[in-house]
Amino acid sequence: MSARLRSVRLRSALVGPFDIEVAAGECIAITGASGSGKSLFLRLLADLDPGEGEVFLDDVERSTMPAPAWRRQVAYVAAESGWWFDTVAAHFPDLPAARALAPALDLKPELFDGLVLRLSTGEKQRLALIRSLLPGPKALLLDEPTGALDEASQAAVETLLRQHLARGCAIVLVTHQPAQAARLGQRRFVMQAGKLMPA
C-alpha cells in the first residue's frame, strides 16, 4: 500500500522527530499519558503549530499548497472544538449535507437551528466531526473524538469512521481508550515523552 499521509523528520521543539506512513483506508491509533505529546503531533501534521520536517498527502508536499487547502484535505478535529459564531448553522456552509449526516451520529437535525451555547460537550464533539467530514478529506486527525460520549454515541462515531476508512480515508486517532485503539487501529502506537513507539 502506498502512503496516503506521510511525515518525514517532522518535529517541534517539544516533540519528534516523527517518520510515519498511513495508507489509504488505514487507521493508526495512538495512546499515551496526558502531556506525552499526542495532541502536539496531530497539530504538527495539521500545520497548526510551528515545526520542521515534511508532510506529504498522496506524495504532494504540504508546503506546495495553501494552508486552508491542506486543512480541508487533512482535517484536524480537536478534543475541544472551536466555535466562532453564536448559531450552530453558521458553522456549516453546506447545511443540508450536515443535517443529512446528523442521524448517523445520533444527533437531531434540529440542533443546527439552535445556539452553540445550548449544545452539550458530546453534541459539540459530534458536530465538529461532521464539520470536518463535509469537505471530503483524504485524511482525518482525531484527538479523543469520543471522549465525551456515551457508549451508543461512541459506537455510532466508530461506525461512521469505519465507513470513511472503507472509502480510502486515512485516520490518525488519538485515544485514551485501549479498547477503542484495538477496535479501530490497524496499527497501534504509544507516545512516550514526545516519541512514537510501536504498541
Note the pLDDT tens digit of each residue in 124-163: 999 999 999 999 999 999 999 998 899 999 999 999 999 9
**Phi, psi dihedrals of residue 144, rounded to the nearest 5°:** 50, 55
Residue 183 placed within a domain: yes
Task: Quote the pLDDT of residue 70.
Answer: 96
Note the pLDDT tens digit of each residue in 6-41: 999 999 999 999 999 999 999 999 999 999 999 999
Using the CB atoms, write b or e for 80-106: b if 16+ within 10 Å: ebebeeeebbebbeebeebbebbeebb
Residue 82 placed within a domain: no
Residue 127 placed within a domain: no
Domain that includes residue 49, residue range: 3-76+136-198
Q: Rounded distance, CA 11 to CA 172, Å?
A: 17
Residue 107 placed within a domain: no
Provide DSSP, 110-174.
GGGGSBGGG--HHHHHHHHHHHHHTT--SEEEEESTTTT--HHHHHHHHHHHHHHHHTT-EEEEE
Domain with residue 67: its CATH number is 3.40.50.300
Q: Residue 17: is the preceding peptide bond cis (ω within 30°)?
A: yes
Task: Quote the pLDDT of residue 93.
Answer: 93
User: What pTM value is reported for the model?
Assistant: 0.95
Task: Quote the pLDDT of residue 1.
Answer: 54
Is residue 47 very low, low, confident or very high in pLDDT (cuts 50, 70, 90)?
Answer: very high
Residue 163 placed within a domain: yes
- Tell the residue number behind the cell numbers 506524495, with chain if given: 59
Residue 190 placed within a domain: yes
Question: Quick check: 91 pLDDT over 90?
Answer: yes
Q: Rounded distance, CA 88 to CA 94, Å?
A: 12
Residue 122 placed within a domain: no
